[in-house]
Amino acid sequence: MVSIKDVARLAGVSTATVSRTLAQPDKVQAVTRDKVLAVVEKSGYVKNKLASSFRTRRANTIVVLVPDITNSFFSNIIQGIETVARKAGYRILLGDMQNDPNNALSYG
């Protein structure tokens, strides 16, 4: 697995420059940005979302609790939530309360 340090070494830049290129490409000079992005593509580097969430203290995750996951009524609602959330860069965690409101406490 290719790390951000590997990308930085191969592109001849710092890890901060790689990070900035991926997060805010408009703040990096075009020549540097192109070099970093070429290495990212060639190496197959994939940003570690878990590591990013630790650093930013944001998980971009929404928890959806449904009373009964076997009830088909909720499937369209969940699909709608997922569609909107995905477009906004969020992930969904789905919890089934099994028709017991006390189960919500175990998710908090």
Count of structural domains within the chain: 2
**In whole numbers, what is the pLDDT of the chain averaged over residues?**
88
* 41 and 70 belong to one structural domain: no
**Residue 56 above 80 pLDDT?**
no
Instruction: Indicate the residue among 16, 36, 55 that finishes a domain.
Output: 55
How high is the pLDDT of residue 8?
96
CATH number (domain holding residue 100): 3.40.50.2300
* 51 and 9 belong to one structural domain: yes
* 43 and 20 belong to one structural domain: yes
Task: Show the domain range for 17.
Answer: 4-55
Q: What is the pLDDT of residues 82-94, one digit of tens each?
A: 999 999 989 999 9
- Residue 102: partners with Cβ closer than 8 Å, 6 or more residues away: none
Which position has the higher pLDDT, 17 or 53? 17
Radius of gyration of the chain (CA): 20
